[in-house]
Amino acid sequence: METIRVALLGAGTVGLAFAGLLPQHRSRWAALDVQLELVKVLVRDEHKPRPGLPSRLLTTQTQGFLQDVDVLVEVAGGTGLAGDMVIEALEAGIPVVTANKALLAERWAELREYAEGGELYYEASVMAGTPVLGALGSLWGNQTRELHGIVNGTCSYILRRMEEGSSYEAAFREAGELGYLEADPNLDVGGIDAAHKLTVLARLTVDPGLSWEEVRARTRGIAHLTPQRLHEARVEGRAVRLVASLYPEKGQWVAAVRPVQLPLSHPLVTLGSGRNALVYRGDPIGELVFAGAGAGGGVTASAVLSDLYKVLLGIPGNLPIPQALPAPTVEIEPLEEV
C-alpha cells in the first residue's frame, strides 16, 4: 500500500477541521490502495494548544518544510508566506490543494500555468463546501450571459441585522464577537473577500487572464449603508445585498462587487439568507441556481478533502477556461446599485 505524505500549512479553524476529518476516511484510502499520512504542519506558534493535533507534527520552520512531501494542503490564507510556499511546492512538482481565494486572485500570474496544468486544486476557495467551481467548469458548452452571487456571509449577516434595526456599528461589533470577521475586517465589509472570489469565478467561466486590479477597481463595500436605507428598500419590496456580478457591458465583460437592491423574490434573497448563493445564466442552459453553506471550518475542510481525493485519483484540479470568451452583444439590465 502506497503512503501519501501530506503537509498542512495552517492550523486554524479549517486546518484543525481538515486534520480531524482525515482519520474518518482511512477505509476509503485503503480502498484506493493508499495510506494517507499527515507528516507536518506549519504554524505561527507551535506552543498554542490545538486539540486533536499531535504537537510533534507542528513546526514554525519553513526551511525544508516541503522535503519528503507528496501533497501540500494550504489553508493559512494571505498572499505572503502562504503564497511563497505554494509556489515553491508547485515548482518542485508537488500538487497543491488550497482554500486561499486572495492568493488565487492576487498572484495569478505566478499560479496560472500550474492551474492550467491541473496541479492546483482550489474548490474550497469559493463558497467553501458548495461545489460551484466544479459545476461552472462543466458549463463550458454554454455561452455565459451573466453570473451573480452572494459569496460573503459576514456582509449578509450585518445587512440582515441592520434590516432588523441595528446600527451598522452594532451589527459590525456582533459579527466580530461571533467570529465572522476576517483579521482585517475590511476584507469583508469592504467587499474585498467577495471580489477575490468573483475573480476566481470569472477566470473559470469567461476570461483566464482577468486581472485582479480590474475587479478591485469596481468593488464597493457596505459601510455607507444605514438602517433607514435598508428599511426604505423593504417598504418598496426589495432587499439590499452585497452582490458579486459578472456581466457584459459595451462589448466587454465587467466584474463588479457592490450593494444592490433585489426583489424579495429573487433567488439571491430567498436562498442567500444565511447561506451563500449563486445565479448563473447561460445559453442554451438557461438559469441555474446554487446555494449552500459558504463558510465554516468543517464545511471548508470537506471541500479541501474532496480535492485531495482528486489528487489521489489523478483527476486535474479546477481548470480555467482555455481562452477569453467574447462578451454577448445583447447587454443585460444592470442591477440597481445602492
Give the active site residues. Answer: 197
Residue type for 159, please? L
Residue type for 163, please? E
CB-based contacts of 109: which residues, under 8 Å, 6+ apart? none
Q: What DSSP string describes 163-201?
A: HTT--HHHHHHHHHHTT-S-SSTHHHHTSHHHHHHHHHH
The 10 Å CB-count burial string (b at 16+, else e) for 310-334 is bbbeeebbbbbbeeeeebbeeeeee
Cα dihedral sign, 22-24-30-33: negative
Count the Cβ atoms, other than its own, within 10 Å of residue 186: 13
Q: Look-up: residue for cell 504554524?
A: 43
Annotated binding residues for NADP(+), written as ranges, equal 10-15
Burial group, residue 303, by CB count within 10 angstroms (0-12, 13-18, 19+): buried
Annotated binding residues for L-homoserine, written as ranges, equal 182
**How far apart are alpha carbons 98 and 104 in whole angstroms?**
9
Do 133 and 314 meet the contact criterion of CB atoms below 8 Å apart?
Answer: no
**How far apart are alpha carbons 58 and 53 in whole angstroms?**
8
CB-based contacts of 231: which residues, under 8 Å, 6+ apart? 163
Annotated binding residues, written as ranges, equal 10-15, 101, 182
Instruction: Determine the 3-state secondary structure of 99 from DSSP.
Output: coil
CB-based contacts of 267: which residues, under 8 Å, 6+ apart? 277, 279, 289, 291
Instruction: Determine the 3-state secondary structure of 1 from DSSP.
Output: coil
Annotated binding residues for NADPH, written as ranges, equal 101
Pairing of strands 2-9, 34-42: parallel
